[in-house]
């Protein structure tokens, strides 16, 4: 099996979390980054947002465990070309170092439909309402 170099984007906002799941599970930060607008914000830890080129190292840190993600969308609210996505997610399994791993959260994300009709993140906040400095 060859390693994918991209993931198919969606024209349905409610499907965007599943596109993220497929992209995440390739463990390739460049594939995940295709789901973001150029200057989109990613918050890998509460209080530590990153944007633009800074997203790749942030994704690499998240992917280093080599444990797949599972998403369960809770709500999708669409207004015109913007969508608010509330998504429960879990990264659970055996990490690359052999340690059992479980990280979970409820994402509060904003996506925008581009001129091409496909949805991309404007803000990806995996830990949603978690408090941080």
Question: pLDDT of 56-102, one tens digit each?
Answer: 999 998 899 999 999 999 999 999 999 999 999 999 999 989 999 99
Across the chain, mean pLDDT equals: 92
Tokens of 90: 């879990």
Q: Which fold is adopted by the domain 13-124?
A: Nuclear Transport Factor 2; Chain: A, (3.10.450)
Q: What is the DSSP letter of 11?
A: S
Q: What are 86-92's contacts with CB under 8 Å, separation 24+?
A: 86/128, 87/17, 89/17, 89/126, 91/65, 91/67, 92/67
Q: Which helix (H) or strand (E) holds 101?
A: strand 100-113
pTM above 0.85, yes or no: yes
Q: Answer whether residue 130 shows pLDDT above 80.
A: no
Residue ranges per domain, the chain? 13-124
């Amino acid at each position: 099996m060859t390693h994918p170099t991209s993931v198919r984007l969606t024209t349905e906002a409610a499907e965007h979390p599943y596109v993220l799941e497929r992209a995440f599970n390739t463990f390739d930060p460049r594939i995940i980054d295709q789901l973001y607008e150029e200057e989109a914000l990613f918050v890998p830890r509460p209080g530590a947002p990153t944007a633009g080129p800074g997203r790749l190292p942030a994704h690499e840190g998240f992917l280093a465990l080599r444990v797949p993600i599972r998403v369960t969308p809770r709500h999708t609210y669409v207004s015109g070309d913007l969508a608010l996505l509330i998504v429960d997610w879990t990264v659970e399994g055996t990490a690359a170092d052999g340690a059992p791993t479980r990280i979970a959260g409820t994402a509060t994300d904003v996506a925008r439909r581009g001129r091409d009709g496909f949805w991309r993140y404007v803000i990806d906040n995996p830990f949603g309402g978690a408090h941080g400095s």
